[in-house]
Amino acid sequence: MVRLKRLLLCVCFLCRIRIAEQEQLNDYILDYQPLTYDPLDLHNKHDRIKRSVDQHLQLSFSAYGRDFKLKLQKDNSIFSTDHQTLNGDGSLAPVDTSFIYSGFLEGVCGNDAAAEWMKRHADSVILDQPLNRAARYASETEERHRPYLKYTAENNSGHRKRRATIGEKNTCYLYLRADPILWEHIKFKKYNTKLSDERTQEEILAFFANHVSAVKNIYSKTEFHTYDYAMKYVGVDFVVQRTSVNNDSGNQYCNTNRATSYCNRNIDVTNFLNLNSLDQHDEFCLAYVFTFRDFTKGTLGLAWVGSDSRAAGGVCERHKDYPEGGGRVSKSLNTGIVTVINYGKAVPARVSQLTFAHEIGHNFGSPHDSGPLCAPYGTNRKEAEDGNYIMFASATMGDKPNNDDFSVCSLDNITRVLDAVLNERYGKVNCFQKSTQAFCGNGITEGEEKCDCGYAADCDDKCCYGKGSLVGQECTLREGYQCSPTAGPCCSRDCGYITQEKRSVCQPQDDCKAESLCGYPLLAMCPKAQQKPNGTFCNDFSQICIQGECVKSVCHKINWEECFLTSDENGEGPSREAMCYVSCRNPYTKECVSSYTMTDINKEDNELFKNLLMEIQQQKARDRMNSLELQGIQLPAGSPCDNFRGYCDVFHKCRGVDADGPLARLKNLIFDPKTLQSIKDWIVIHWWAMMLISIGLVVVMGVFIKVCAVHTPSSNPNKPKARKISMTLRRTHRHPRHPHNSQTTALTAHDHRESVDSRSHGRSHTPGASSEATGVARSAAQTSKPNSTTVAATSSGGAEAAVVVEKYQRNSWSGGLPGNVLKKPSLVTTIWKTTCTDVLGKRERKHEEWMTPETWAKIKSRKGLKQKLNQCQDQQEKEGPRAEYWEANRQVKSSVRKDNRCFAHELTEERKQRQQHKLC
């Protein structure tokens, strides 16, 4: 009889069960049941599948009072066909990954399962609908362990419908490495027993497969788009092309002189990432190292952040030299690291998988989520109970709907970086490749697939069966249809081919290809476009076409190589403008000849290059009616320059790549020990200058305090009240331009009485204002002694001046008599107009002496409309009252201006009448 082994089935959230039956495995596995199975039978099935055309394997079992049928098949979508592993001695070797399976539970929609058969042992994880109690327990666990679930202690909804695919080149090829610390944990500690080297390596490869599968599931189904949906991409895929398992056997011993830097156990997270970045990773889209190191401050992962506007860090970044510590160090910034331990506890697979997706999100250009919109958990927003999104700074349990989705902030950032990479802007390189394997569900028709509309839950194509469909075969056409729009642009939404008569353009003309029309042959795919001859100029004459692609520099047309004008470490060398011109290396003289420098072009050795420039200029003259004068070839914006250390901006000037950013550079400049020492030495030598600077600073502060003292409130009741700054700023407008005359101005009682009698010519005024003016005039007469100037003023224009003074005093903003009113009465009208214009519409209450009752009625009506507008809550309700209010406000201002003009006119008329009375 075959000995039975126990299969530990870890069911995260499977079905509703009784609380008394639950057996908790750890803080993260809420319940499990051990199962028994025949390992020999499964192993034989696995061996048969390896040699069989039918790749399906079925496993039936019972748990929690239910029968389950697990349908699995070999998962060929994780590792590429040319996948190899890097051994400790630097050699590459193929790896058997046939033990990795994926599948689903029959009869249950919307679930995934993964299993790995390693030497007659099986592990599996099944995810299904969550339990009510399990969700509550997970929430409590999350709060209790929140310090242990951070990506970093310092804070260093995706649409599912298919709208715009990236294209055939949609796959990001990965290089995954396991360091010796992770190897040691899995080999000796994970199962509380020592595993063989072969079994340990299979465990690590299965670990890689689970994490990549989770990331593929998130990214491939996400539609990346900007806020305004101007750019949209879907179908991002990941494939492992190379792995490296650093073990402590063979040629690599961590306790010998051959030990690598990865054997160092006392390395912090920043230096660990830097260690991964020092290797050359140009062959890969991203390169990650997985470890079992317990980093400080609860760090679970770290990665370089991509950018859509500069070529330093992130996906597809190339190995370059970057300034560091006063020198230059070569690094690959398309890297990241992930650890699976936090504060002494191994994190669950779900958390480490979301960490991996989070760090890749950084590589793709997304910073951490912030604000209520993109980090809603704990806020008052409706979606707060759905949890935070992937790019939130702290890790999550992964049990809430938003935990494996991207926020709109992340979608916008990632979309912009994808657009920059795919179109190779700002010196970036598009390293996405065409997948060599068919994967049903990624939205791309490939291999033997007839169509691919994504997962069944997201498929809106009536022509195709989606992945996981309960009826029909996945990624095949529905009965009665010719094609699916997912198979190509020449299939209509009615699931029929587009004929040649419709002359539908499926691929527009570009620099290297003619346009292509649907209908010949009759296929869903766009017919191959006719290629333009090799050597045709493209990309604004900076490159040439080779086999229909704009890939070679224009230098290759004369069999020269492209080169760069470069600057030295101090930035000395050619101008920034010159470095953004095409340069070619003469194969005979080895000189880098720039099309910017005409003296080099005109040399006899460079005649071929000169002829090339003349040919380009002639073609430009034919196409664009340009001048035939010989000119250089400017590199397009975004092209690399200065030997890949910069890129050409829109002004065709070479801008250097900054790996640190301006803030880090400023911090290094200020707090650099050399800078601080230089400042200290300068102070010691120029001590007298520091003393003068200190004294000057004290004097300036004292003057500032003295000047602002009048505006500072005081609790001393004997002190005058603090003056408003607005009063100080208006003083220059309230006083006449000329200084007050030292001679006192006086008005006779006779002149004043005449001024009071003259009020019948103007508007009616209040008696209080009249008596106030009389009191002022008498007071002035009692306190001043008549002199020649006063008598002259009184005899020539005293009567009209009295009227002016009374009017001005009654409606004065400054509250006092202007000193030059008697000397220059003609200035009064100008002063009135200027003053009224300055305060028009702001201080209507001060105009009550000369504004009409109709104006005051309009002001009162406007006030009522303002109160009605403030009572409206909804924006749509405010539209009507807002329009009425602004119309009333316009009428008030118009009426105030009218009353102001009338008052100025009456003032002038009174002056004329007084002048005529004096002549009589």
The count of residues in the chain is 920
Does the annotation flag 368 for ligand binding?
yes
CA atoms within 13 A on the CB side of 819: 11
829 and 753 within one domain: yes
Confidence of residue 20 (pLDDT cuts 50, 70, 90): very low
Check pLDDT > 70 for residue 292.
yes
Full domain range(s) for residue 316: 158-375+408-434
Q: Dig out the tokens for 810 from the structure.
A: 């009654």
Instruction: Indicate the DSSP class of residue 173.
Output: E
pLDDT of residue 852: 80
% of the chain beyond a pLDDT of 90: 20
Q: Kindly state whether residue 273 falls inside one of the protein's structural domains.
A: yes
State the CB neighbour count (10 A cutoff) for residue 47. 12
Burial 851-890 (b: 16+ CB within 10 A, else e): beeebbebbeebeebeeebeeeeeeeebeebeeebeebbe
Q: Dig out the tokens for 156 from the structure.
A: 């260093």
Q: Which residue has the higher pLDDT, 224 or 46?
A: 224
Check pLDDT > 60 for residue 759.
no
User: Looking at residue 251, which CATH number applies to its domain?
Assistant: 3.40.390.10
| Spatial separation of the C-alpha atoms in residues 152 and 301, rounded to whole Å | 7
- Considering only CA atoms, give the Rg of the chain: 42
Does the annotation flag 46 for ligand binding?
no
243 and 135 within one domain: no
Q: Dig out the tokens for 286 from the structure.
A: 């991203």
| CA of residue 874 relative to chain centroid, distance | 31
Q: Kindly state whether residue 703 falls inside one of the protein's structural domains.
A: no
In sequence order, which residues have a C-beta less than 8 Å from that of residue 164 and are 6 or more positions away?
223, 232, 233, 234
Does the annotation flag 765 for ligand binding?
no
Q: At what angle do helices 349-363 and 197-220 cross, to 10 degrees?
A: 60
Q: Which residue has the higher pLDDT, 835 or 396?
A: 396
Q: Kindly state whether residue 110 falls inside one of the protein's structural domains.
A: yes
Q: Which of 225-229, 455-459, 587-591 has the lowest mean pLDDT?
A: 455-459
Domain end (from 88, 120, 144): 144
CA angle 394, 396, 400 (to 5 degrees): 140
Q: How many domains does the chain have?
A: 4
| Spatial separation of the C-alpha atoms in residues 758 and 394, rounded to whole Å | 82
182 and 110 within one domain: no
Q: Kindly state whether residue 713 falls inside one of the protein's structural domains.
A: no
164 and 130 within one domain: no
Q: Kindly state whether residue 323 falls inside one of the protein's structural domains.
A: yes
% of the chain beyond a pLDDT of 70: 67
pLDDT of residue 868: 83
Confidence of residue 358 (pLDDT cuts 50, 70, 90): very high
Q: What is the pLDDT of residues 682-697, one digit of tens each?
A: 999 999 999 999 999 9
In sequence order, which residues have a C-beta less than 8 Å from that of residue 882 and are 6 or more positions away?
869
pLDDT of residue 826: 46
Q: Which residues are catalytic?
A: 359
Q: Kindly state whether residue 478 falls inside one of the protein's structural domains.
A: no
Q: Are 200 and 186 in contact (CB under 8 A)?
A: yes
Three-state DSSP class for residue 854: helix
* 153: exposed, middle or buried (Cβ count in 10 Å: 0-12, 13-18, 19+): middle
Q: Dig out the tokens for 299 from the structure.
A: 């760090």
Q: Which of 236-240, 337-341, 678-682, 818-822 has the lowest mean pLDDT?
A: 818-822
Q: Kindly state whether residue 187 falls inside one of the protein's structural domains.
A: yes
163 and 290 within one domain: yes
894 and 785 within one domain: yes
Q: Which residue has the higher pLDDT, 179 or 43?
A: 179
Instruction: Indicate the DSSP class of residue 375.
Output: S
Domain end (from 596, 630, 656): 656
Q: Dig out the tokens for 856 from the structure.
A: 């005051």
pTM value is: 0.48
115 and 171 within one domain: no
103 and 191 within one domain: no
> Edge to edge, what strands does the sheet with 583-585 contain?
561-563, 583-585, 592-594
136 and 49 within one domain: yes
214 and 184 within one domain: yes
Q: End-to-end CA distance of the chain, in Å?
A: 144
Q: What is the pLDDT of residues 259-285, one digit of tens each?
A: 677 888 888 899 999 999 999 999 899
Beta bridge partners of 655: 647
164 and 137 within one domain: no
CA atoms within 13 A on the CB side of 264: 10
190 and 128 within one domain: no
Q: Kindly state whether residue 32 falls inside one of the protein's structural domains.
A: yes
Q: Which of 380-389, 463-472, 629-638, 728-737 has the lowest mean pLDDT?
A: 728-737
Domain end (from 144, 173, 194): 144
